[in-house]
Amino acid sequence: MHLTKEEERLLESDTPATRKAMELLVELGDIYGAEEMVEIESAQASGISYKSIGDPGVEFLEGFAEEGAEVSVTTFANPAGMDFEQYEGMGVSEEFAEQQRRIRDALKEMGITLSFTCTPYLAGNLPHRGQHVAWAESSAVSFVNSVVGAKTNREGGPSALAAAITGRTPKHGLHLEENRRPTHRIDVDVDLDDQSEFAALGSWAGRIVEDGKPYFTGIDAATTDELKALGAAMAASGAVALHFVEGVTTDMEPPEHVDSATFGAGEREEEHAKLNDGEDPELVVIGCPHCSPEEIADVAEAVEGETLDSDLWVCTSGAVKTWADRNGHTETIEAAGGQVLADTCNVVSPIEELGYETSATDSAKAANYLPGFGNQQVVFDDKRSLVEGVIEDE
Ligand code: F3S
């Protein structure tokens, strides 16, 4: 692998963390056959929930910070295991909170922006088309590759952190234009009426294409929230990091000579049923990926003046929560008995320790992951139906 003089210097840095970061990237570059590094504009650090990394992760991050780890590009943090200000209201233990705060402090010492969100593009870190970045959370990777047109591989926690420190990543995979071509064609032959139907399509398509790059036809229009739901679902049921939606995210001609499949009304109903294995949720969670301001406003409108007979979490970034606070949406949701949580979600928080057995979600990503946590049962439906379903009868 060709290294520039600057990269050679980083490899011999007096700062142990910098040296280790560069060594890791060179090793990864050799594994993937990269010929050179590419400079990046931003990074996204994942693997920072105490639930995911436990005590060894806390000690690694603290040790790395002590060894001089410091990011050299804008680096946003993925969601943590709790809302730092409302963890008690979530039911998170003080022991968990203490370890999560140690992780936060280590990230801060490294210069990482304490954004704690999987939608950094809604919260102040929006790359532009063609920029190389090193992001790690799978739905965010999908969004910046597919909707924004930036270029990133699906990084792991350590490789994203190493890229953040050195400001570069091995140039392979989706950093190369020749690898950014559709591998499958998916013809959508049914109306997608809301965000959960985009999620169901993504969940179905991800299983078919696995780590391929699907090209969708038949979708006339999609909102930003619908596109983030589609990408998140495909990243969870498969490992899709790049997709194309004809006329919406790309002007590219449909691919020829690739495998194709059709998503019709039958597939839509079947996928919906597949994602739905519970009833009577004790907790409704909206915000996977993290909510936009519009999604929070929708929830607030649905619960205004009502009382909920289940818990409700509306998960978002701290930045978007500030807007929700200012616009009175947080107050409206809290008055109904719900919570607007920043920094976390029901997948990266210790949901299995919080007394919930059945959760409701409009996210196919969450519906794919939740059954793995203490056999959580899942109710999957669109946002409005879920919220209206837990409003107390008069
Ligand atoms: Fe984000 Fe958590 Fe969903 S990290 S994509 S809200 S599983």
Centre of ligand 1 from the C-alpha of residue 79, in Å: 7
- Phi, psi of 358, deg, nearest 5: -130, 120
Question: Does 139 contact ligand 1 (Cβ within 6 A)?
Answer: yes
Please answer whether residues 349 and 96 qualify as being in contact, where contact means their C-beta atoms are separated by less than 8 angstroms. no
Nearest CA-CA partner of 318 in 97, 107, 84, 44: 84
Average pLDDT of every residue of the chain: 97
**If you classify domain 276-389 with CATH, what class do you get?**
alpha beta
3-state SS string for the chain: CCCCHHHHHHHCCCCHHHHHHHHHHHHHHHHHCCCCEEECCEEEECCCCHHHHHHHHHHHHHHHHHCCCCCCCEEEECCCCCCCCCHHHHCCCHHHHHHHHHHHHHHHHCCCECCCCCCHHHCCCCCCCCCECECCCHHHHHHHHHHHCCECCCCCHHHHHHHHHHCEEECCHHHCHHHCCCCEEEEECCCCCCHHHHHHHHHHHHHHHCCCCEEEECCCCCCHHHHHHHHHHHHHHCCCCCCEEECCCECCCCCCCCEEEEECHHHHHHHHHHCCCCCCCCEEEECCCCCCHHHHHHHHHHHCCCCECCEEEEEECHHHHHHHHHCCHHHHHHHHCCEEEECCCCCCCCHHHCCCCEEEECCHHHHHHHHHCCCCEEEECCHHHHHHHCECCC
CATH topology assigned to domain 5-177: Aconitase; domain 3 (3.30.499)
CB of 123 shorter than 6 A to ligand 1? no
Ligand 1 centroid – CA 233 distance (Å): 10
Read off the pLDDT band of 375 (50, 70, 90): confident
Mean pLDDT of 101-111: 98
Task: With a cut of 80, say whether residue 394 has pLDDT above it.
Answer: no
| Mean pLDDT along residues 163-181 | 98
CB 150 within 8 A of CB 129: yes
Beta-carbon contacts of 285 under 8 Å, excluding residues fewer than 6 positions away, are: 312, 313, 315, 345, 346, 359, 360, 361, 363, 366
> How many angstroms separate the Cα of 117 from the Cα of each of 86, 249, 321?
16, 23, 11
Type of residue numbered 227: L
Nearest to 179 by CA among 207, 153, 144: 153
Choose which residue among 195, 234, 290 to substitute to test ligand 1 binding: the one with the highest number of ligand atoms within 8 A of its C-beta. Answer: 290
Instruction: Give residue 288 CA to ligand 1 midpoint distance, Å.
Output: 5
Sign of the alpha-carbon dihedral angle for 6, 12, 17, 20? positive
Cα 107 to ligand 1 centre (Å):
19
For the Cβ of 79 lying below 6 angstroms from any atom of ligand 1, the answer is: yes
Residue with tokens 């793995």: 372
Residue 180 is predicted with a pLDDT of 98
Structure token digits, residue 307: 């009382």
Average pLDDT estimate for 131-136: 98
Measure the CA–CA gap between 350 and 94, rounded to whole angstroms. 13
Percent of the chain exceeding pLDDT 70 equals: 100
Report pLDDT for 374.
84
Determine phi and psi for 30, rounding to 5 degrees: -65, -45
Q: Is the CB of 232 under 6 A from ligand 1?
A: yes
The reply to whether ligand 1 has any atom less than 6 angstroms from the CB of 235 is: no
- What is the position in ligand 1's atom list of the atom closest to the CA of 119? 1
d(CA 256, CA 278) in angstroms, rounded, equals 41
Task: Report which of 84, 65, 70, 102 is spatially closest to residue 167, judged by C-alpha positions.
Answer: 70
pTM here is 0.97
- How far from the centroid of its chain's Cα atoms is residue 141's Cα? 8
Q: At what angle do helices 293-303 and 329-336 cross, to 10 degrees?
A: 40
| Confidence category of residue 393, pLDDT binned at 50, 70, 90 | confident
Beta bridge partner(s), residue 217 = 187
> pLDDT tens digits for 91-100?
999 999 999 9
> Contact, 90 vs 341, CB < 8 A?
yes
289 lines ligand 1 (CB under 6 A): yes
From the CA of 140, give the closest atom in ligand 1: 5
Task: Please indicate whether residue 364, judged by its CB atom, sits closer than 6 Å to ligand 1.
Answer: no
Rounded mean pLDDT of 291-306?
98
Q: Is the CB of 51 under 6 A from ligand 1?
A: no
Whether the pLDDT of residue 314 is over 90: the answer is yes
Q: Shortest CA distance to 227 belongs to which of 121, 302, 327, 315?
A: 121
Whole-number pLDDT of residue 115: 98
Structural domain spans, the chain: 5-177, 181-274, 276-389
Of 192, 174, 194, nearest to 131 by C-alpha is 174
Nearest CA to ligand 1 atom 7: 347
| Backbone phi and psi for residue 82, each to the nearest 5 degrees, phi listed first | -165, 160
The residue contributing the CA closest to ligand 1 atom 5 is 289
262 CA → ligand 1 middle, Å = 28
pLDDT tens profile 221-234:
999 999 999 999 99
pLDDT band of residue 390 (cuts 50, 70, 90) is very high
Q: Which pLDDT belongs to residue 260?
A: 98
Contact criterion met (CB below 8 Å) for 73 and 42: yes
